[in-house]
């Protein structure tokens, strides 16, 4: 894993040399701060991990859809994995090459298919027979050819949080692997379709990546059977799901996975696609918040800050644990929960008993918040989403400003 970009210097936490206290003073809080160098470093490391195989890294835009983050990765020649018409528009705007975009998701609408065909995307990741038939009809109507890969559901347990497990038969994702050959045979009889590959994505944040090894075995066997039957496949997509260390654990790395699956993939002669999201941007970002109050309800101590589940939903949704540190160096610890300003008891940023002993007016940084942070933020309780800042070397650039209340209300009508 690339070197962590956040470290203390001259008494304050810094992002590649820029003081987070300075960023908070300039742009306010809550604010996400991302390190461009860390994102570049992670991309190059993943690229090297797969360099013994023909491969393409398709950044999973949902992890951090900010246009500047996307354009940074597009500039490194990454492809993109998108999951809606909105993400497709964003990926195109950010400069990803259309033919390097894969479109995933179990619920694509006709208009999303039309937009993607107009853009000339590389591949639709198809998740059901109904979707296959609609895609064929939409492409044929337009005299176009839709390249597709079936997303198979290998019924392999990713052994991660149940909410982010996607490769079990009990989840809505993909087509049972046993039915896949029949779907390709059907597709060969339908107009407007061309089989481009096979794919899967079995889960996210898999600390132990061996379920991917197991599932890749099945996927590779399917690809080889399809090739024998004359299907013109060009790629095999192993999905994303690479883990980052949120605590002190040492999760498996892309390099370890690539080494294990290389012998299964090499004989196929296909381009290996992978769709990392979290691994490329997760540790590259923090959320900075300012302390509003300290309070005590009986035995329970709270540090109330100006961004909560509206800014970072992961702790409330998954009880995810992000490290929380003081921006000022050498703060002591105290027994307290860090909570946000939202009117919900689940509005907690850190359930851990210990927290930095900071006073009102001071800053906290929630670490490893670059992935699924801003992208799951909301305006709940009438709070604007956080601002976003990209640090590149010594320069801190505002890449998304905080919206005003007027801007948030602007689309509403009828008053
Ligand atoms: N490909 C597909 C088809 C996906 O559905 C996903 C993530 C990815 C790739 C990228 O997965 P990654 O490499 O980032 O693990 N909100 C949750 C994570 C949900 C992931 C959904 N799909 C969280 O905050 O942990």
- For residues 55 and 171, the model is more confident at 55
| Residue 89 neighbours by CB distance under 10 Å | 13
Mean pLDDT of 167-171: 79
Residue 162 has pLDDT above 90, yes or no: no
- DSSP per-residue codes, 194-262: EEEEEE---BS--SS-HHHHHHHHHHHHHHHHHHHTT----EEE--------SSS-----HHHHHHHHH
The pLDDT tens digits of the residues spanning 208-262 come to 999 999 999 999 999 999 999 999 999 999 999 999 999 999 999 999 999 999 9
Fold assignment, 6-35+284-412: Lyase, Ornithine Decarboxylase; Chain A, domain 1 (2.40.37)
Asked if 366 contacts 287 with a C-beta cutoff of 8 angstroms, the reply is yes
Phi, psi of 140 (to 5 degrees): -60, -40
Shortest CA distance to 145 belongs to which of 121, 175, 127?
Answer: 121
Q: How far apart are CA 103 and CA 266, in angstroms?
A: 25
Burial of 357 (0-12, 13-18, 19+ CB in 10 A): middle
Domain 50-276: give its CATH code.
3.20.20.10
Asked if 123 contacts 196 with a C-beta cutoff of 8 angstroms, the reply is yes
The pLDDT tens digits of the residues spanning 13-67 come to 999 989 999 999 999 999 999 999 999 999 999 999 999 999 999 999 999 999 9
The whole-number pLDDT of residue 60 equals 98
For ligand 1, residues with CB inside 6 Å are 60, 63, 81, 104, 164, 201, 204-205, 239-242, 275-279, 314, 371-372
The whole-number pLDDT of residue 141 equals 98
- Distance from the CA of 124 to the center of ligand 1, in angstroms? 17
- Distance from the CA of 277 to the center of ligand 1, in angstroms? 6
**Position in ligand 1 atom list of the atom nearest CA 317:** 24
Burial of 252 (0-12, 13-18, 19+ CB in 10 A): middle
Residue 286 has pLDDT above 60, yes or no: yes
Residue boundaries of the structural domains of the chain: 6-35+284-412, 50-276
Q: Is the peptide bond before 185 cis (omega within 30 degrees of 0)?
A: no
Mean pLDDT of 357-367: 98
The pLDDT tens digits of the residues spanning 296-322 come to 999 999 999 999 999 999 999 999 999
Asked if 261 contacts 212 with a C-beta cutoff of 8 angstroms, the reply is yes
Asked if 309 contacts 316 with a C-beta cutoff of 8 angstroms, the reply is yes
123 flagged as catalytic:
no
Weakest mean pLDDT among 39-48, 192-201, 405-414: 405-414
The whole-number pLDDT of residue 3 equals 60
- Distance from the CA of 111 to the center of ligand 1, in angstroms? 24
């Amino acid at each position: 894993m690339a070197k962590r970009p956040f470290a203390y210097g001259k008494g304050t936490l810094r992002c590649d040399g820029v003081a987070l206290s300075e960023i908070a003073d300039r742009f306010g809080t809550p604010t996400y701060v991302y390190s461009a160098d860390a994102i570049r470093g992670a991309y190059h490391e993943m690229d090297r991990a797969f360099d013994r195989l023909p491969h393409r890294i398709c950044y999973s835009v949902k992890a951090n859809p900010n246009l500047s983050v996307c354009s940074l990765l597009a500039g490194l020649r990454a492809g993109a994995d998108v999951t809606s018409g909105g993400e497709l528009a964003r990926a195109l705007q950010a400069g990803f090459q259309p033919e390097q975009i894969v479109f995933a998701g179990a619920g694509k609408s006709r208009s999303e298919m039309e937009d993607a065909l107009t853009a000339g995307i590389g591949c639709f990741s198809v998740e059901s027979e109904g979707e296959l038939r609609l895609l064929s009809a939409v492409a044929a109507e337009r005299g176009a050819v839709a390249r597709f890969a079936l997303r198979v559901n290998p019924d392999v347990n990713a052994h991660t949080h149940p909410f982010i497990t996607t490769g079990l038969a009990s989840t809505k994702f993909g087509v049972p692997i046993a039915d896949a050959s029949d779907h390709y045979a059907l597709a060969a009889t339908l107009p407007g379709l061309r089989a481009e590959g096979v794919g899967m994505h079995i889960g996210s944040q898999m600390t132990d990546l061996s379920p991917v090894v197991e599932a890749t075995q099945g996927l590779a066997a399917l690809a080889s059977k399809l090739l024998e039957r004359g299907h013109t496949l060009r790629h095999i997509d192993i999905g994303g799901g690479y883990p980052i260390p949120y605590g002190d654990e040492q999760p498996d790395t892309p390099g370890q996975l690539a080494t294990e699956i290389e012998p299964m993939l090499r004989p196929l002669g296909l381009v290996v696609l992978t769709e990392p999201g979290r691994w490329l941007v997760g540790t590259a970002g923090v959320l900075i918040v300012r302390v509003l109050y300290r309070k005590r309800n009986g035995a329970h101590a709270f540090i109330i800050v100006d961004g909560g589940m509206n800014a970072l939903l992961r702790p409330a949704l998954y009880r995810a644990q992000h490290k929380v540190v003081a921006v000022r160096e050498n703060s002591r610890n105290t027994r307290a929960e860090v909570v946000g300003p939202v009117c919900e008891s689940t509005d907690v940023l850190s359930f851990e008993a210990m927290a930095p002993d900071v006073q009102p007016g001071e800053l906290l940084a929630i670490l490893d918040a670059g992935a699924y942070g801003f992208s799951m933020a909301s305006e709940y309780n009438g709070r604007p989403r956080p601002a976003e800042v990209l640090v590149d070397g010594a320069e801190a650039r505002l890449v998304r400003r905080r919206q005003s209340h007027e801007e948030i209300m602007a689309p509403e009508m009828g008053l």
